[in-house]
Chains A and B, each alone.
Chain A
C-alpha cells in the first residue's frame, strides 16, 4: 500500500470543503495532480495545494492508497466523503461530514470530529478516538434513508441524534450519548457503553439499541417484556428488554409483528 501525506500548512480564512481528500480521488495521480484537485473555501473554488503540502506516493487504485492527514484540520470538512476503499488516518481533529456517505475502506480520526460525520454511511470502518458531535451516522436532513452498513466506533462521547433513520450497520459509543438515539430507525444496531439521556428509540420501527448505563427519561412508547442474556461487542451481560416504539407502524414477518428492541443493562 502506498502512502500520501497531506499536511495543512496554510490555515484557511474560512472553512475548507475537502471532498477530494479520498483514496478514490488520489489513486493513480501524481503529487502535482493531487495538489490541483478541487476544493472549496467558503463559496470560492480553489485547489488543495493552496492549503496543504502533499508528499509520498498514491497507489494505482483506491484499495492500495493510504492517506495520512496532518496539521490542525478542525476546520476542514468532508475528508473521506464517499470513499469506497483504501485508508485515511487523520492525526488530530476534523470538521463536519468527515466520512459522510462512506462506501468502504477504513477511516481513522485520532482526535474529535464535529457534526454529521459518517452520515448515510453504506460500508467500511470509521474509528474516532475522541468525541463525535451531533448527527453521527445519521441521515442527511430531510432524507429517510440513513446509515445502511459499516461500523462507526467512537472512543469518547457522541452528541445528539445518533443514527437517525438508520437502516443497517453498527454504531458503538464507548462514552455517553445525547438525546435522540435511533429516531425513526428501521434496522441497524447502536451500542452506548455509557449513559443515554432521553428520547431513545423515538418512532423506531425496527433495529436494536443497547444502553449499558442509565437512561434519563424512558420513551412512553416502549414496553418491558423481560430480561435477556446477551453478548454485546464481546461482553456478556443481562439486559432488560423493551420493545417499541408502540406508537409507530410495525411490519409483520411470518405472522409476527417486528418491533424495535431497546436493551438496558441491569
Chain B
C-alpha cells in the first residue's frame, strides 16, 4: 500500500490543537503515522499554501435506506437536467440532486473531503435494504441508527420502568440490524400517528401505551448509558417545524439534566439534538413566525451534556423525508405536493414530501437565518455540527455554502439584503446584528473533530492522531492569504484539491480519480443473558410481525465490509 507524506500544508486539527501551523502528515498502511515511520518509497503531496484537515465526518444525513429510495423513485424530476453525463474518470453514472443516486452520494461527499457519513434513520425491519445501499454507496464509511422512539417493545418496557430489559432488547436489535446508535424520532408521536393523532408536547400521552414522550426520552437516555454505547441517543424531538415550538424544545433538552455520559468513547453528551433549526421557532402562526435561536442557545451553551447539529435551510428545491409521519402529512397539507407515507409494523413510520424553500418566501428566509444563528450563537463549536438534515433542509452538497455563510458576514448580508422581504426577515431574526465570522479551526470542529467526538468515533476519525484512519481533505485555501471573495471559500470546500480515504487518493482537483473499499461500522454490546426479553421477542414475532424472527435479522451477505465496535457491560 502506498505511503504518503503531505508536506507543508496548513493543518487544522482541534483534537491535537493544531491551528493552521505548517505540519507534515504521514500515512502508512492506511493509517496516520509519525513522519519518521515512513520508508523511502513514500510519495509526497505538496500542500503548501493549502488547508489540510482530517477527512470530514457527517453526523446526520439521510443517504441510504427505503425512505431515501422512495424519494428517488417518486421524484424523477429531481434528476431532470441535474444529472451530469458520465465523466470518463468516474466509475459510475451519477444522477439526482436532492435525492442523488448511491454513486453520486458517495462521489459528492468525497469531492467535499468527507470520508464518513452516519445514516440518520434505519427502520429496523428494513435493515437489509439499508445495508445493501451502504454497499453501493462508494468512498464513504457508514453507520446506521435504528429508529427506536416508537417501538412497541420499548414503549412497554419503559412504561414499566424496565431499563435493563429495554437495554437487552436494544442490544439484540443493534445486533440484528447491525446498527450503531439509538435514533429517536418524534418519541411517541409517530406511534400516535397510527391512531391519526400526534404528541405535540413531551407530556402528551401515547394512545394505548399510555406513556409520555418525556418518559420515553429519559428511559432511552438511561438505556443508552446503561449499554455504554459510543454515541448518545440521537433525538429528533416532538413538535418539529411548528411556530412556537422552541419551548417544547427547551422542555425536551431539560430532560438531560442530571444525566452524565457513561462510556469509554470520549463523548460528553447524553442527548444529541439533531437539526435543531427545525426546533427553534417562535411566534404562534406563520404570520408572526420568528427566530428563537438565541433563547435555545442560551440554554444549550450552559448545558455541557448536549450536542446538536444545525439543519440549515439552504433555500433550494428539495425532498423532505422523516420517520415523523404526522409532520409529513402536515407539510403536504401546506404545500399540496405529492406525499408518500409508510407504516413499519411495530416499529416506526415514514413520510416523504417534496418541498421548495423559496428565496422570496419570508418563512423560508427566517428558517435559513435560524440555522446559521444557532452556529453563530454557540460558544463551543465542538458541540455544534454542520448539517442540512440532508435532504430535509437542503442537499448535503450545500455544506460548502454553509461554511461560506458562517465564515463571511459579507456573504450572509448580501443574501439577506437580496430577499424580497428582507426588512421583515431582519425584524424576525438576529442574523443582521451578528458580526461573528467563524475560523477554519472552528469549521474543522463543526465538520470533523466535533462530529467524530459526539459520535464516539474519535478513536477512528476526525483527527491526525497516530493510528486513526488515514482520511485527509486538502482544500485549496491559503489561511495566510484568505480570498477576499467569499465564493472562493465555497468553491474550495466543494471541490477538494485532494481527498485521501484510508491512505488512497480518491479525489484530485475536485474529480474522482480513485476507489478504495468502504466499511460499515456497527456496535455489538454484550449484555447479561435475559430470558424474559428473549421470550418477549419470540412472542411478539409470533403474534404481530409479518416476518419470522429468523428472517428478521440481517443475513451476513447484506453486511458490507463490517468493522464492529465491541462493548462488554457484563465485565
Find the B residue at minimum CB distance from A249.
B336
| A143 contact set on B, CB distance < 8 A | 76-77, 80
Quick check: A140 and B76 within 8 Å, CB to CB?
yes
* Interface class of chain B by DSSP: loop
Q: Which of B329-386 contact A (CB under 8 A)?
A: 336-338, 354
Quick check: A140 and B80 within 8 Å, CB to CB?
yes
B379 to chain A, nearest CB (A): 43
**Which of B80, B337, B354 is most buried by chain A, counting CB atoms within 10 A of its CB?**
B80
Quick check: B77 and A140 within 8 Å, CB to CB?
yes
Is A142's beta carbon under 8 Å from chain B?
yes
B88 to chain A, nearest CB (A): 11
Find the B residue at minimum CB distance from A144.
B337
Is A141's beta carbon under 8 Å from chain B?
yes
Quick check: A141 and B76 within 8 Å, CB to CB?
yes
Q: Mark A112-145, 1 if CB is under 8 A from B, else 0.
A: 0000000000000000000000000000111110
A225 to B8, CA, bound (A): 80
B71 to chain A, nearest CB (A): 11
A119 to B80, CA, bound (A): 13
| B299 contact set on A, CB distance < 8 A | none
Q: Which of A45, A141, A144 is the one whose CB lies under 8 Å from B85?
A: A45
| B337 contact set on A, CB distance < 8 A | 144
Find the B residue at minimum CB distance from A145.
B77
Q: Identify 9 new A-B residue pairs, CB closer than 8 A, beyond the known A142-B338, A143-B76.
A: A45-B85, A140-B77, A141-B76, A142-B75, A142-B78, A143-B77, A144-B337, A144-B354, A249-B336
A161 to chain B, nearest CB (A): 15
| A141 contact set on B, CB distance < 8 A | 76-77
B320 to chain A, nearest CB (A): 15
Quick check: A142 and B85 within 8 Å, CB to CB?
no
Interface size class for chain B? 10 to 19
A195 to chain B, nearest CB (A): 31
A90 to B225, CA, bound (A): 72
| B259 contact set on A, CB distance < 8 A | none
A45 to B75, CA, bound (A): 26
Quick check: A142 and B336 within 8 Å, CB to CB?
no
Q: Which of B303-347 contact A (CB under 8 A)?
A: 336-338
| B354 contact set on A, CB distance < 8 A | 144
Is B74's beta carbon under 8 Å from chain A?
yes
B78 to chain A, nearest CB (A): 8
Find the A residue at minimum CB distance from B336.
A249
A249 to B335, CA, bound (A): 12
Find the B residue at minimum CB distance from A38.
B85
Q: Which of A137-156 contact B (CB under 8 A)?
A: 140-144
Q: Which of A241-266 contact B (CB under 8 A)?
A: 249
Quick check: A144 and B80 within 8 Å, CB to CB?
no
B64 to chain A, nearest CB (A): 21
B332 to chain A, nearest CB (A): 11
| B78 contact set on A, CB distance < 8 A | 142
Find the A residue at minimum CB distance from B79.
A142
B468 to chain A, nearest CB (A): 42
| B75 contact set on A, CB distance < 8 A | 142
A261 to chain B, nearest CB (A): 20
**Which of A141, A142, A143 is most buried by chain B, counting CB atoms within 10 A of its CB?**
A142
A197 to chain B, nearest CB (A): 25
Smallest CB-CB A-B distances: 5 pairs: A143-B77, A142-B76, A142-B77, A141-B76, A140-B77
| B80 contact set on A, CB distance < 8 A | 140, 143
A144 to B335, CA, bound (A): 11
| A140 contact set on B, CB distance < 8 A | 76-77, 80
A249 to B332, CA, bound (A): 12
B92 to chain A, nearest CB (A): 13
A76 to chain B, nearest CB (A): 19
| B76 contact set on A, CB distance < 8 A | 140-143
| A142 contact set on B, CB distance < 8 A | 74-78, 338
| A45 contact set on B, CB distance < 8 A | 85
A91 to chain B, nearest CB (A): 29
B36 to chain A, nearest CB (A): 50
A249 to B339, CA, bound (A): 15
| A144 contact set on B, CB distance < 8 A | 337-338, 354
Q: Which of B465-499 contact A (CB under 8 A)?
A: none
A140 to B82, CA, bound (A): 14
A141 to B85, CA, bound (A): 20
A119 to B291, CA, bound (A): 41
A140 to B76, CA, bound (A): 8
8 contacts between A and B (CB under 8 A): A140-B76, A141-B77, A142-B76, A142-B78, A143-B76, A143-B77, A143-B80, A144-B337
| B336 contact set on A, CB distance < 8 A | 249
A142 to B98, CA, bound (A): 14
A141 to B338, CA, bound (A): 12
Q: Which of B27-62 contact A (CB under 8 A)?
A: none
Q: Which of A217-249 contact B (CB under 8 A)?
A: 249
A249 to B334, CA, bound (A): 12
